[in-house]
Structure 1
Amino acid sequence: MEIEKLWEEVRELNLGTSSQVERLESPPSPLRFLRDFVSPNKPCIISNATLHWPALSSWTQPSYLSHALSSSPVSLHLTPNGLADALVPRPDDPSSLCFVSAHVQRMPFSDALNLVSSSSLSNSFVAYAQQQNDCFHSEYSALAPDVDSHIPWATEALGCLPDAVNLWIGNHLSETSFHKDHYENLYAVISGEKHFLLLPPTDVHRMYIRDYPAANYSYSQDTGEFTLELEKPLRYVPWSGVNPFPSPADRDREMAFFPLYFNGPKPFECTIKPGEILYLPSMWFHHVRQSPDERGLTIAINYWYDMQFDIKYAYFNFLQSICGPSSFFLPEARTWEVSDISIPTTSADAANEDLSCSVLSATHNDIPLATKSEPGASEIAILSEVADA
């Protein structure tokens, strides 16, 4: 298939055939960073990048953060399982999926930190202290002296200061599903470890992105239970249904639903430790899990630099809009075929979708539907509320 040749060529010509991310032992010069990584849209890990930050020692002290932030109000995100910005069964139709965001609650930082440390599945919720759109400056400004306000060599290479700096404090249960951002992302770990799976923008068809209705969790302190409500008016979010770590019981089903992901080239894998920075190029798909420190916490800070909306962005939008492998769709029979599974679509599905140019999109108990051959505005919009774990 032509699309599979593209995946192979990108790796052979630009990224390498190994699934490991290139590692630098010290920060690069601005010229090297721009030439070897930003321009070719290639990730890298920079070791010994933040050893001069006071945060690496002070933020690991049990009382430092609570004392520095005292009663400062921060945003705490609550979910039943640690998965925010993820796909779950719709409240009005469990056979279909929706895109759900976390319940967000404002509270003093010391209370938020205690909930993050103690939260577990047995406690009925998982807490995650984060709020995007420059939360480090808006909610955690007291910690500003402990880190650099920007990454100097990246700032010079990119020709601008970061649009936003965000702080993330979670535990081992926090997980982020596959997504992409329209930013050049410099991701620094302070405590614990972050585990990334990465796929280049050319692998967009392997993500099985389709539009899902948006919903929100609401948490009741009285009952200790979550409710799930669709947004009104209804809003749709383009999202990937791929779960790269299915349970053994679900693996065969997931592989049948998402063969391009599971049968294609392996994702790039990397673990980011304290003192290291991951350069995550714009539009790269990434899935994130984490391991905590001895306190049960993982702390990271990331710098979002605006990307150049240049010819690479135009190429990506074109690639996203064109046909996937035609062998997956038999238009005469209105039937999806994946391995030994054949599921007919309804006539209503066919009427509502442009079936002339599609790839398979199915998740869990969803009835497989065709993705639109031309992306809607929401598919190319910049999503500012993506949880990066």
Structure 2
Amino acid sequence: MEGKVESLWEEVRELSLGTTVDRLHSPPTPLQFLRDFVSQNKPCIISNAISHWPALSLWPTPSYLSAALSSSTVSLHLTPDGHADAIVPHPSHPSLCFASAHVQPTPFPQALDLIRRPPNHLVAYLQQQNDCFRTEYGELESDCDGHIPWASEALGCLPEAVNLWIGNHLSQTSFHKDHYENLYAVVSGEKHFLLLPPTDVHRMYIKQYPAAQYSYSQEKGEFRLELEEPERYVPWSSVDPYPATGNLKQERLKFPLYFNGPKPFEVTVKAGEVLYLPSMWFHHVSQSPGDDGCTIAVNYWYDMQFDIKYAYFNFLQSLPCRSIDDPTTPESACEEDSGPIASPNHLNRRFSGDESAKTNVHDNV
């Protein structure tokens, strides 16, 4: 079984995905987008799809954003190191845990200043994922489109949520997947993605981790990481694709399926470009700021179709898999551990982990 699963990773690339992510120099027609990308569950980068947005010229000017949102209070996410929704050691717990950011209502001008001029002891990120663009940033709606017309026509619906992301170079998002069709438009700076198709699920070493939450004391300028009560577990990828140099050998031994398998697709999405990120693709995200000190993006989440592709993915995920390169790797290292399956409910999103029922939760980008 292990050899068949591993050969699937190569065959998917050879027969469907190729070796690079397609780049389109103009927006596709709805038919082309549906036929060549959505139906094939295949990502692409589109240029000149948002060149008409006023946001491209207005938002990189911090004074414009601060003036437009001068009276707005927004949800600011705070962490000690920029790693929110990530697997981290817990100071008083014997195992790793899934850590969520401290979320603090903050006047927008103050939030933007913390992002652009980060203090030594915290990293700030505007990344609330509850349709925040339409709920917290309504003053900016006229600066960009409310939906992507050719995508909406191809998918047969309007976006379920539209979100705004403003961060700096310190914020990263660990490997995860979303049960949404995602159109991700970068307005300022660059976003760097590592992408793996759903067929590579065994390479992600998804396990159950106890959920924890950062809390931040402004008076002390300190973070505390506290396990949630009652106890809750989150299925999450264990792989860090960029381990510290001294840990690289150890990480390769722990996660041979990831490090010895096909390389992830690496793409950089620049200002003015749109990434189509298909549903259920695993992605790791980092960012580089523009001249304004920020990376700014808007993303549109469209409901995915729970069709035969979803059934195939669930079947594949249920198969045990061990690495040919390291036959001593226990099967449980390649599967989700048994136990209560939950998901990060602090983000108010629609799906998470591998739950097929709709909830109000999801992952982040």
Regarding TM over 0.5, the answer is yes
* 1:62 Cα offset (Å): 2.8
Q: What is the match of residue 291 of structure 1?
A: 288
Residues 299-358 of structure 1 show CA distances to partners (whole Å, capped at 9, x for unaligned) of: 00000000001111111111111111276998xxxxxx35xxxxxxxxxxxxxxxx8xx3
The percentage of aligned residue pairs carrying the same residue is 68
Judge conservation of contact 1:205–1:359 (CA < 8 Å) in 2: no
Q: What is the match of residue 96 of structure 1?
A: 95
Judge conservation of contact 2:232–2:342 (CA < 8 Å) in 1: no
Aligned counterparts, 1:43-192, within 5 A: 43-93=43-93, 95-120=94-119, 123-192=120-189
Q: What is the match of residue 344 of structure 1?
A: none
- Asked if 1:36 corresponds to 2:36, the answer is yes
* 1:49 Cα offset (Å): 1.1
* 1:285 Cα offset (Å): 0.1
* 1:377 Cα offset (Å): 7.0
User: Residues of 2 paired with 1:28 and 1:375: CA distance?
Assistant: 42
Question: Helix, strand or coil: the match of 1:249?
Answer: helix
* 1:119 Cα offset (Å): 1.1
User: Residues of 1 paired with 2:338 and 2:286: CA distance?
Assistant: 32
Specify whether residues 73 and 329 from structure 1 end up closer, same or farther in structure 2 by C-alpha distance, changes over 3 A only: same
Residues 107-141 of structure 1 show CA distances to partners (whole Å, capped at 9, x for unaligned) of: 11001101111114xx2000001211100011001
254, 258, 279: which one aligns with 1:257 = 254
User: Residues of 1 paired with 2:175 and 2:77: CA distance?
Assistant: 19
Residues 192-249 of structure 1 show CA distances to partners (whole Å, capped at 9, x for unaligned) of: 0000000000000000001101000000011111000000001110000111111110
Q: What is the match of residue 360 of structure 1?
A: 333
Q: What is the match of residue 13 of structure 2?
A: 11
Question: Helix, strand or coil: the match of 2:126?
Answer: strand
Judge conservation of contact 2:211–2:233 (CA < 8 Å) in 1: yes
Specify whether residues 376 and 67 from structure 1 end up closer, same or farther in structure 2 by C-alpha distance, changes over 3 A only: closer
User: Residues of 2 paired with 1:28 and 1:34: CA distance?
Assistant: 9
* 1:9 Cα offset (Å): 1.0
Judge conservation of contact 1:103–1:218 (CA < 8 Å) in 2: yes
Question: Helix, strand or coil: the match of 1:229?
Answer: strand
* 1:294 Cα offset (Å): 1.3
Specify whether residues 327 and 52 from structure 1 end up closer, same or farther in structure 2 by C-alpha distance, changes over 3 A only: closer
Aligned counterparts, 1:237-386, within 5 A: 237-325=234-322, 337-338=328-329, 358-360=331-333, 371-372=336-337, 376=341, 379-381=353-355, 384-386=361-363
Residues 247-275 of structure 1 show CA distances to partners (whole Å, capped at 9, x for unaligned) of: 11010011000000000001001000111
Judge conservation of contact 2:66–2:109 (CA < 8 Å) in 1: yes
Judge conservation of contact 1:73–1:109 (CA < 8 Å) in 2: yes
**Structure 2 portions without partners, runs of 5+:** 344-352
Judge conservation of contact 1:322–1:373 (CA < 8 Å) in 2: no
Judge conservation of contact 2:256–2:323 (CA < 8 Å) in 1: no
Judge conservation of contact 1:329–1:359 (CA < 8 Å) in 2: no
Judge conservation of contact 1:328–1:359 (CA < 8 Å) in 2: no
> In angstroms, what is the RMSD of aligned CA positions?
1.9
* 1:92 Cα offset (Å): 2.7
Specify whether residues 77 and 374 from structure 1 end up closer, same or farther in structure 2 by C-alpha distance, changes over 3 A only: closer
Judge conservation of contact 2:77–2:103 (CA < 8 Å) in 1: yes
Name the aligned partner's letter for residue 54 of structure 1. Answer: P
Name the aligned partner's letter for residue 133 of structure 1. Answer: N
After TM superposition, what 4+ stretches of structure 1 lie above 4 angstroms from structure 2? Answer: 326-330, 373-379
Q: What is the match of residue 350 of structure 2?
A: none
Name the aligned partner's letter for residue 72 of structure 2. Answer: S
Name the aligned partner's letter for residue 360 of structure 1. Answer: A
* 1:65 Cα offset (Å): 0.4
User: Residues of 2 paired with 1:359 and 1:75: CA distance?
Assistant: 38
Name the aligned partner's letter for residue 43 of structure 1. Answer: P
User: Residues of 2 paired with 1:295 and 1:31: CA distance?
Assistant: 38
User: Residues of 2 paired with 1:289 and 1:325: CA distance?
Assistant: 29
Question: Helix, strand or coil: the match of 1:181?
Answer: coil
**Structure 1 portions without partners, runs of 5+:** 331-336, 339-354, 362-369
* 1:373 Cα offset (Å): 7.3
Judge conservation of contact 1:75–1:131 (CA < 8 Å) in 2: yes
Q: What is the match of residue 367 of structure 1?
A: none
Specify whether residues 325 and 26 from structure 1 end up closer, same or farther in structure 2 by C-alpha distance, changes over 3 A only: same
- The structure having more radius of gyration, on CA atoms, is 1
User: Residues of 2 paired with 1:236 and 1:15: CA distance?
Assistant: 34
